[in-house]
Amino acid sequence: MSDAVADFLMPSLGADMESAKVVEWLVKPGSRVKPGDVVAVVETHKGAIDVEIFLDGVIEDLAPLNQQLPVGALLAHVRGTGGGGTQAPAKAAAAPVQPAPVPSPPPPTAPLSGARGRVSPAARRRAEEAGIAADSLHGTGPDGAVTLADVELALSAGPKPAPAEPARAGRSGFDPAQMRQAIAAAMGRSKREIPHYYLGTTVDFHAAQTWLDGYNASRPPPERLLPAVLLLKATARALVQVPQLNGFHGKDGFSPGPGIHIGWAISLRGGGLVAPALHDVDRQELPALMTSLRDLVQRARTGGLRSSELTDPTITVTSLGERGADSVLGVIYPPQVAIVGFGRIVERPWVVAGNVAPRPLVTLSLAADHRASDGHLGGRLLAAIDEALQDPANL
């Protein structure tokens, strides 16, 4: 094994993140780590996040727990193969706080079978070590999830679990007010720095809905697809044709994304938004994509998102769902260069072959960065999404 030493640094989980603290190490000094291993749990105003490492070797010199550390601060050293450099903090390609003015509701029909409980992995481990029932505790995390801080508070209070009451001052974990402030700060920056342009069109969803109804008719609820997966896959297919809208804008101009990793905007019932990545959406079959979406929504609401899911999105998609508005004009989350929005699907009069007929329609919108593209390219993307939705069997 090489003696080269690399630095493992506090990652950036979004343009709005300035610092975080390590609340749990999942490895010990001297442990062997490899790329993709979850090695720590950090807490920000967005809640507890499982942090992966992308170095190979033996981890040493772990940073102390519960100290607020800025993005880029040293968390540990990794000695050995793959350790001949510094692991730069993950760039803020996307973050759990996202710009859509109206959040995406959770999938409304298919049950989340086999979903994780409303307890973060770190909290569950600590509760098991202490011999208490994590599920009985009052949670202050996203959607009421029990965080590590909730477990520690219960232990410090004695054998009885913490009573259900509003979050106490100074308590760590998810804070809706802080998240709202972070959203405002990030969106203010976006509107100041990014020259937005907006496009919109109306899409006939009849072919997609007809195909979807036929597909779901013979399947039990856990195996059925939601319109959301068709919207996601159609967007991914369109981005293959118009890759100029899939990536990031930095000091050297536009950089294409390493894949089509779509950040899906998810509302948190406690307030705020997250938009973790669904990876390689263009390559996933629809049933697998539906499974990935269910899992992502559940983990976003209960804790357990990975750092790579928060830093990887190359574009954001927000869908208002059945209970949303007819259309949405998003705000780009830097350094991404575009956000695609879908309004709710509504039956309206539509001209078909010269005749007026009722059709399910959806308003499709695009907000894009004029430094990276123009209206011509944006129009091509919307047209490609429309075209893909007219041929759902080939998505």
Structural tokens at position 182: 């972070």
Give which of 19, 136, 30, 10 is closest to 73, Cα–Cα.
10
Whether the CA torsion 148, 179, 278, 312 is positive or negative: it is negative
Distance CA 337, CA 239 (A): 12
Domain match, 307 and 368 both: yes
Backbone angles phi, psi at 295, to 5 degrees: -65, -45
Task: Let me know if residue 102 belongs to a domain.
Answer: no
Distance CA 52, CA 223 (A): 31
Task: Let me know if residue 146 belongs to a domain.
Answer: yes
Q: What is the number of domains present in the chain?
A: 3
Distance CA 297, CA 305 (A): 10
User: Is the backbone of residue 80 left (phi > 0), alpha (psi -120 to 50) or beta?
Assistant: left
Task: Let me know if residue 110 belongs to a domain.
Answer: no
Domain boundary among 174, 199, 216: 174
Domain match, 68 and 128 both: no
Domain match, 293 and 366 both: yes
CATH at residue 75: 2.40.50.100
Give which of 383, 112, 90, 131 is closest to 248, Cα–Cα.
90
Domain match, 358 and 277 both: yes
The rounded average pLDDT for each run of 10 residues, N- to C-terminus, in the chain (395 residues) is 80 76 91 90 78 90 91 90 50 39 36 48 69 71 65 59 36 60 82 95 97 95 93 98 96 94 86 88 96 90 82 92 84 94 95 96 97 96 98 95
Task: Let me know if residue 103 belongs to a domain.
Answer: no
Domain match, 250 and 317 both: yes
Distance CA 347, CA 360 (A): 4
Task: Let me know if residue 321 belongs to a domain.
Answer: yes
Burial of 108 (0-12, 13-18, 19+ CB in 10 A): exposed
The pLDDT value given to residue 306: 87
Task: Let me know if residue 116 belongs to a domain.
Answer: no
Helix pair 206-217, 227-241: axis angle to 10 deg: 130
Q: Is 89 helix (H, G, I), strand (E, B) or coil?
A: coil
Task: Let me know if residue 113 belongs to a domain.
Answer: no
Domain match, 198 and 145 both: no
The pLDDT value given to residue 152: 64
Q: Is 322 helix (H, G, I), strand (E, B) or coil?
A: coil
Domain match, 267 and 145 both: no
Strands of 63-129 (E only): list them. Answer: 68-70, 74-79, 86-87
**Cis peptide bond N-terminal to 258, omega within 30:** no
The pLDDT value given to residue 113: 33
Domain match, 328 and 262 both: yes
Q: Is 333 helix (H, G, I), strand (E, B) or coil?
A: coil
Domain boundary among 87, 106, 137: 87
Q: Are 100 and 273 in contact (CB under 8 A)?
A: yes
Residue 67 lies in domain: 5-87
The pLDDT value given to residue 121: 63
The pLDDT value given to residue 46: 66
Domain match, 170 and 181 both: no
Give which of 176, 338, 179 is closest to 247, Cα–Cα.
338
Beta bridge partners of 60: 77
Domain match, 306 and 210 both: yes
> Measured in whole angstroms, how far is the alpha carbon of residue 136 from the centre of its chain?
28
Report pTM. 0.70
Residues 226-257, buried b or exposed e (16+ Cβ, 10 A)?
Answer: bbbbbbbbbbbbbbeebebbbbbbeeeebbeb
- Residue whose entry in the numeric block shows the structure tokens 């899992």: 295
Q: Could you report the per-residue pLDDT of 258-316, keeping only the tens digit for each?
A: 999 999 998 876 677 889 999 999 999 999 999 999 999 888 877 778 888 888 899 99
Q: Could you report the per-residue pLDDT of 24-76, keeping only the tens digit for each?
A: 999 999 999 998 888 998 887 667 788 888 889 999 999 999 998 888 889 99
- Residue 385 makes CB contacts below 8 A (sequence gap 6+) with 203, 234, 235, 237, 238, 340, 364
Task: Let me know if residue 157 belongs to a domain.
Answer: yes
CATH at residue 240: 3.30.559.10
Domain match, 185 and 251 both: yes
Domain match, 138 and 195 both: no
Distance CA 283, CA 26 (A): 32
